[in-house]
Amino acid sequence: MIYYEMFVDMTCEAWSLALADDTDVWKFSSCETLDIDTPVDLVIEETGPRVDYNLTAFGTPIATARLAKIISRFASKEAQLFPACLSRKEELDMFVVNIVQAVDCLDRNRSEIQYFEIDHPTKPGLPRGISRLAILPDKVPDLHLFRIKDWQVAIVVSETLKNLIEVENCTGMKFNRI
């Protein structure tokens, strides 16, 4: 299967969303199933036209209902969708996407990686930055949406999911084949 990194389209002027200050900004990138029963509170960091895909500063994907519907149809085992609200009052037709799958598929030979020092207190020898990302597709089980173990910054989609997103003309994201 062919895979793509999905990232924010920085060429379009669009609004920018963030998690509210009292939200644990890291919990949505831990690839763990969460139990949340109230809408996730968002704030607008920059005004502009709404797009279907936003990514907060700490890597939390936010999707419109249109994009969330595609994710729920084709990647339901890979992600949880939590309703979002704006400043604790205005309900949005948007969802915070919690990707629960992290796959050990980083191709360390073909990727260009900077590593933490081996004596780093919390991340010894783990990737600190990746300027060229490559994965080992044969290590990926039958998934359409996932993060990469040891590099959960990246959001990866299958070609199938990418094509469905493009057919629906969803906005706010770009894809890079990896």
**pLDDT of 168 over the 80 cut:** yes
Q: What φ, ψ does residue 101 adopt, rounded to 5°? A: -105, 125
Residue 170 predicted with pLDDT over 80? yes
The whole-model pTM stands at: 0.91
Which has the higher per-residue pLDDT, 21 or 80?
A: 80
Domain residue extents for the chain: 3-104+132-177
Mean predicted confidence (pLDDT) in 90-119? 92
33 compared with 87, residue with greater pLDDT: 33
Closest CA to 140 of 107, 97, 173, 98: 107
Averaged pLDDT for residues 154-177: 96
What is the residue-averaged pLDDT of the chain? 92
According to the model, what pLDDT value does residue 57 have?
83
Q: Which helix (H) or strand (E) holds 65?
A: helix 65-74
More confident: 89 or 149: 149
